[in-house]
């Protein structure tokens, strides 16, 4: 089965530019949740403060140099933006048709790519990787280790290590896409009185 033409993150060199604020949920996706008559504004809810507010999609699900191991080296953000332009059309078609069968194989592949990347690119996924690293470190430090191993373990506590680990997962997107693409797909429509909400980690398992 032919995969769509994708750069798959960092595998194709591109011109560097300084993108300070980097999004981990794409704006084309968030546009589906904008408030009618209010441009690019959406309702937001802070789970920590238990506070709701209105903000621009440009200002949510983003952090400074989120993907950059070296600040200012924004290859990942640029690659993702290029990738999103091809994914957006397939997602729009799915939303409009409300029928998975209306998508051709290439469009289905793009939807799978979107789901996999959106699972792996967020702050929540990075926090999960961080938690896993620290648990492994805590377990191993209970044992007698060589000095070299102790130095290696110190790395797993660093923020740049967690960022690099997340990027390694993103480089394996094609493998995860094939796994997802081989599964049975079901489209579920919300017919309840409760509105459909998304989050800063839209993929639910």
Please compute the mean of the pLDDT values over residues 81-93 and round it to a whole number.
88
Average pLDDT over every residue of 50-58: 94
Burial bucket for residue 26 (CB in 10 Å: 0-12, 13-18, 19+): buried
| Beta-ladder partners of 51 | 46
Separation CA 27–CA 32 (nearest Å): 9
- Rounded distance between C-alpha atoms, residue 129 and residue 132, angstroms: 5
Tokens of 152: 């290696």
Instruction: With CA atoms as reference, report the closest residue to 63 among 19, 15, 32, 27.
Output: 19
More confident residue, 1 or 72: 72
The lowest-confidence range among 39-53, 74-88, 155-169 is: 74-88
% of the chain exceeding 70 in pLDDT = 88
Which residues have CB under 8 Å from 161's CB, separation 6+?
A: 133, 155
pLDDT at 50: 95
What does residue 105 show for φ and ψ, rounded to 5 degrees?
-60, -40
Say which residue, 74 or 80, is predicted with more confidence: 80
pTM of the model: 0.80
Domain boundaries, the chain: 21-181
Does the pLDDT of residue 198 top 90, yes or no? yes
Looking only at the bridges linking them, the beta strands covering 41-46 and 51-56 are antiparallel
In sequence order, what are the beta bridge partners of 55? Answer: 42
Q: Which of 187, 191, 6, 199 is nearest to 99 (CA)?
A: 187
pLDDT bracket for residue 77 (50, 70, 90):
confident
pLDDT at 74: 62
Q: How does DSSP assign 116-157, residue by residue?
A: HHHHHSSHHHHHHHHHHHHHHHHHHTTS---HHHHHHHHHTT
Nearest to 74 by CA among 127, 9, 30: 9
């Amino acid at each position: 089965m032919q995969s769509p033409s994708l750069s798959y993150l960092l595998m194709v060199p591109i011109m560097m530019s300084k993108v300070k604020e980097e999004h981990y949920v794409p704006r084309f996706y968030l546009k589906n949740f904008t408030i009618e008559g209010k441009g690019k504004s959406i309702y937001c809810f802070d789970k920590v403060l238990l506070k709701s507010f209105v903000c621009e999609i440009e200002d949510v699900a983003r952090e400074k140099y989120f993907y950059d191991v070296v600040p200012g080296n924004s290859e990942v953000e640029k690659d993702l933006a290029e990738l999103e332009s091809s994914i957006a059309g397939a997602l729009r078609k799915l939303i409009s048709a409300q029928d998975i069968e209306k998508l051709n194989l290439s469009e289905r592949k793009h939807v799978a790519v979107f789901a996999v990347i959106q699972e792996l690119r967020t702050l929540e996924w990075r926090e999960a990787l961080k938690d896993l690293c620290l648990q492994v470190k805590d377990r191993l430090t209970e044992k007698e280790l060589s000095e070299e191993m102790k130095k290696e373990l110190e790395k797993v506590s660093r923020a740049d290590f967690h960022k690099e680990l997340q990027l390694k997962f993103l480089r394996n997107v094609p493998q995860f896409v094939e796994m997802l693409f081989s599964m049975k797909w079901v489209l579920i429509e919300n017919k309840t009185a409760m509105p459909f909400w998304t989050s800063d980690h839209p993929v639910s398992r």
